[in-house]
Structure formats: structure tokens, C-alpha cells
Amino acid sequence: MAGQVDDRAGATLERLVEAMNSGVLATDESGRITAWNPRAQQLLGYTRDEVLGRPMHRFLHRDADGHVPPERDCRLVQVLRTGVPDHGEGQRFAHRDGRLVVCSWSSAPIYAGDRPESDQPETGVVAGLVIVFQDAADRVAAERERRDRMAQVQRANSRLRLVAEITTVLSSTLNEAELLRRLVRLVVPALGAWAEVDLPIPDGRVERVAATHHELSPADIAGLEGPLPPLPRIPRGPLAQVLRGGGAVVVSGEADVRSDEPLGAAQYEFFQAMRAQNAIIAPLAARGETYGALTLGYSYPGQVYGPDDRLVVEDVARRTGLVLANARMYAEQRNMAEAMQRNLLTPLPQPGELRLEARYVPATQVSWVGGDWYDAFALPGGGTGLVIGDIVGHDLRAAARMAEVRNMLRALAWDLAEPPSAVLARLDGVMAAVSEAELATAVFGRVEEDPAGRWHLHWCNAGHPPPLLITHDGGTRFLEEHGILLGAPDLIGTRPDSTCVLPPSSTLMLYTDGLVETRDSDLSDRLTSLRRHGSHLAQLPLPELCDKLLERVEPNGEDDVALLALRVPG
């Protein structure tokens, strides 16, 4: 009869269903419940009499909010339409007491008459369905916990990779401004919606040196950077407390930063621009000194920094503080080495109508600074001595030895009225006797005017790059005559003297190898480039020619560059 389960399988099957440890229900072709076993009653609380004849979908099926979902979306009764068995997890059934019971389930069709022998179920007539279900709350909870733990592990691994990347990227530069801009770009959006870095500056104020927000344009951000009010002696706001040596602080939006101190008010305005909801301020500190503060924050409600987040941000800030400390120590050493080198270089004379210009560009690494020099000085008889040289080595000791050799060469050039090669030969002997300088290259020349008003260069090259002569019309040639370098008594060779006429308005360029030698370029190509640029710039005033030449040749910073230029009157 309609509405009753087909029980032709006999009493044994019925007793088996009754004894199952899973809930079992059956429906007719319209989806009304026709069977309900004792385990179904235990799981959902309804007796058999309370459920028989009730529409299964509307009576039992619920969504996550406890509402009856649209029947067209109900996979439980879909079998009635398709004849295809189905199963799933996380289905919610309504309990008699109003609770929702999360179950795993499987459903299969009941066919009218004999089950079709075809492999296609839809060839039979579906007269109902059987649903077997179990309480899956514990399993779902365990699966959710497993997913949460996996998510936590993945998040932790992601943050470890981020911290490692930050360390690598920040360590690749010693430029403080670039270092901090890289930092804020790396931590957003991985650790927050926005970030800023504030540093105390020598005049007592604080400067916001870098900021970013994942939704704001660079132009908007640029307006938020710059000087801030002074750091108070007695800090009240969280930013001031961190900059005065305090630990990391988690703040809840604008309320925690607003204070009566000017720096706190400036921070409050920044938080308003960022729409701050939650933020953490961590010190950029290393070796007992606080160099600044990193502030990270979220702009939407519900996003907060927990204990694990705080540990990650503190780690990032600590690593940044160490890189920042190294960058500042490097800058101090480099400035000291560069200042020493510059102080060792002498001011240039301007003899008569001759014009002299010099440039010195230190190497980018402090350990490479030192050893290159230029010099120009008046000689007895009215000539002008020109020197360009390079002591082998790149450190402060090389700079000191450079000054020693320079002074010896000056003294010998003044005292000896001999050709340049003889002066360099005497210098070679004195270096071996009284100087610790081992090897050096140099060009020493005398520039003199003859009675007819023509200018002559007499020079000797000891293993140095060839001087470049640039005529007023752009013609160029290297003065390629050269001999053995200084400080190598075992080398066999000579240092020939050479003479040339310097045409009116021509320019003589003496330079060290840092201008033309690089690891990844052919020297002949670099020398050709120097000639080409010199030709194009020939008619510029001498100071501008020197600046433009350095700009166009682009020395790579692997070595010092010394440049000495002489302009002959027209």
C-alpha cells in the first residue's frame, strides 16, 4: 500500500534495520517519511508515530541558520529525481528539542518492482528513497580542528618564509632610506593593511620616513611622510614610549594613541588617515639602542593582533633593527674613510690662464675607499706639475700610503730639474727604502708654455691608464706611451718620456682605473666609451665637462675614481 516501505525482503531485513547503529529513514515517491528506526529516534528525538507521513525535507532538513533550505537545493531528496545514490558530510537535521544535529549521510533509491538490471539507474521507476545517517558532530569538530591546525601551521610557515625573505631583502642594501621603504612594502599586506616607520632625527624631532597602505596611492602616502613633532622627554603616547626604549605595544585604534603631547596628536592624525582599528608598535632596536619604531595596523573591525602576531612583528622589527644598525655603522665608517681621503687630497692651483678641475668619487663599499689620488702644483721655472696615481689596495692603510707617496713625489718633482721618467725612477727607489707602499701606478707630467705661446706636456706613465687628450673640435686620442709600474723591482722594462703639444682650448684628462674598469665589461669598450663621451662634451666649460663625463661613463662603484682635468687657454 502507498506510504509503506516495501518489506518483501522479509522479517530478517527488518530486524537488521531495527538493530543498526545508524539512523535509517525511508520515504515514498513524494518524500514523505515511511520508515523510522530506533537509532533515528535516539539521534533526533522523534518517535516513529511523530514522523511517519511527514515531508522529510521540510520536517528535518535545515541550513546553518536553522532555516529550511529550498527543496531544489536539497541533495537528500535529489535521489527521487535522479535515481542516483548520493552521500555527504555536515548535513544538519532538526532535533525534537530545537537543536541542530550535524550528520553524515548516504541516500539510495527504492525502485518499484524489481531493480532494473541496466547499469543506468534512471531506467527504473523510483518509488522512494532510504537515508542512512550518523551523528558527525565529533568527526566534523575533529576535522575542523585538524583544518584549523593545518591553517595555523601553514600560517606559521608562511610567516617564517616572510621573516626569512625580509632578512634577505633588507640585508641586500645598506642604504637606510631604501631599506625602510623595502620593509613597509614587504610587511603589507602579509602582516597588516598598512605600515609606517618613524625615526628620531638629530635635531630632536621624529620623522616618518616610510609608510604604505594597501588601498592608498603612493601620492596619498607621500603626503603623510616627513617630519613630526619632537620626541618628548617624558613619553605618554605609545609611539613616544617605544622610541624612548620601551617594548612593543598593541593599541586598539585611535583611542589608545590620542594624547595631549604633539607627537601623540600627529600619530592620532595618521591613524585616522589609515582608518586604524588595531595596531602594534614595535621598536627597531639592536645592541641596546632604539633606532626607530615599526607600526603595523588593520583598517577593518575584527582584525586584531594576538600573541602570535606580536611575536612575529617583534621578530621582524628586531631583525630590521640589526640591519639598520649595520647600515648606520657602515655609513659612519664610509664617511670617515671618505673624509680622510678627501682631506688627503690637495686643493688645486689655477696657474695663469690654465684651468684645473678635479673630482673624487669614493667606492660604494667602505673597504674599497683609499689609494687613488690626484695632485697639481707649481714647479720651479714656471711649469705646472700634474699627477694622477693609484696605490694598490683599498683601505685606510692604502689612503695613508697614498699621502706618503704623493708627498715624496711632490718633493722630488720640485727638487729635480730632470725629465719625468727620472723623477719617477727616484720615487721608485725612495718607496723601496722608506715607504710601506708596495705597488703603485702613476702618471707624472709637466705642462709648460714656450716663447711662442704654445703649451707642451712632458710626461711619463708608470703602468697607469692612458691620459685622454680632447681637442676643442671633439677630436680625441689616448696618450698611450707607458712603462712599468712603481714598486716592482723584479719587473724588467723602462718608463719612456713623451712629449706632445696641447692645442688651444684642448682638455687633458687624467683618471684612475675606477673610471673605466669593471668586472663585467671589456676594458677596450669602456675606453672607447670614454673617448666618445669626451668628444661630445669637448666644448662644455671644464667643471660641467667633468660632471657630465662622470654621469655618462657611470663608474660602477667597485673602486675609487679620481679625475684631474686641465683646460688649455684658447
Predicted structure pTM score: 0.51
Range 540-561 average pLDDT: 90
pLDDT above 80 for 524: yes
pLDDT, residue 544, reads: 97
Torsion of CA 124, 129, 132, 137, to 10 degrees: 120
Size of the chain, expressed as the number of residues it contains: 570
Confidence of residue 370 (pLDDT cuts 50, 70, 90): low
| Amino acid, single-letter form, for residue 158 | S
Give the ranges where 20-94 is alpha helix by DSSP (H). Answer: 38-44, 48-51, 56-60, 75-82
Average pLDDT over the chain reads: 86
pLDDT above 50 for 9: no
Residue labelled with grid coordinates 620623522: 207
pLDDT above 70 for 23: yes
Per-residue pLDDT tens for 332-342? 766 665 665 56
pLDDT, residue 556, reads: 76
Whether 354 contacts 341, CB under 8 Å: no
Cell numbers of 56, please? 522529510
Whether 28 contacts 52, CB under 8 Å: no
Give the ranges where 482-541 is alpha helix by DSSP (H). Answer: 523-536
Confidence of residue 254 (pLDDT cuts 50, 70, 90): low
pLDDT, residue 347, reads: 81
Confidence of residue 245 (pLDDT cuts 50, 70, 90): very high
Range 290-306 average pLDDT: 92
Whether 79 contacts 109, CB under 8 Å: yes
Angle between helices 396-415 and 307-344 (to 10 degrees): 10
Instruction: Choose between 325 and 155: higher pLDDT.
Output: 325
Range 369-375 average pLDDT: 79
Nearest by Cα to 5 from 111, 121, 144: 111
Per mean pLDDT, which range of 129-138, 477-486, 541-550 is the poorest? 129-138
CA–CA dist 455, 566 (Å, integer): 12
Question: Residue 418: how many CA atoms within 13 Å on its side-chain side?
Answer: 13
Per-residue pLDDT tens for 258-277? 667 899 999 999 999 999 99
Torsion of CA 206, 212, 213, 215, to 10 degrees: 140
The pLDDT > 90 percentage for the chain reads: 51
pLDDT above 80 for 11: no
pLDDT above 90 for 518: no
pLDDT, residue 332, reads: 73
CA–CA dist 236, 253 (Å, integer): 16
Range 287-291 average pLDDT: 91
Nearest by Cα to 74 from 91, 98, 51: 91
CA–CA dist 283, 316 (Å, integer): 10
Which domains can be identified in the chain, with CATH numbers? 11-135 (3.30.450.20), 153-333 (3.30.450.40), 347-567 (3.60.40.10)
CA–CA dist 244, 12 (Å, integer): 83
Per-residue pLDDT tens for 452-462? 999 999 999 99
State how far Cα 100 lies from the chain centre: 51
| Other residues' Cβ atoms within 10 Å of the Cβ of residue 178 | 14
pLDDT, residue 1, reads: 39
pLDDT above 60 for 117: no
pLDDT above 80 for 211: yes
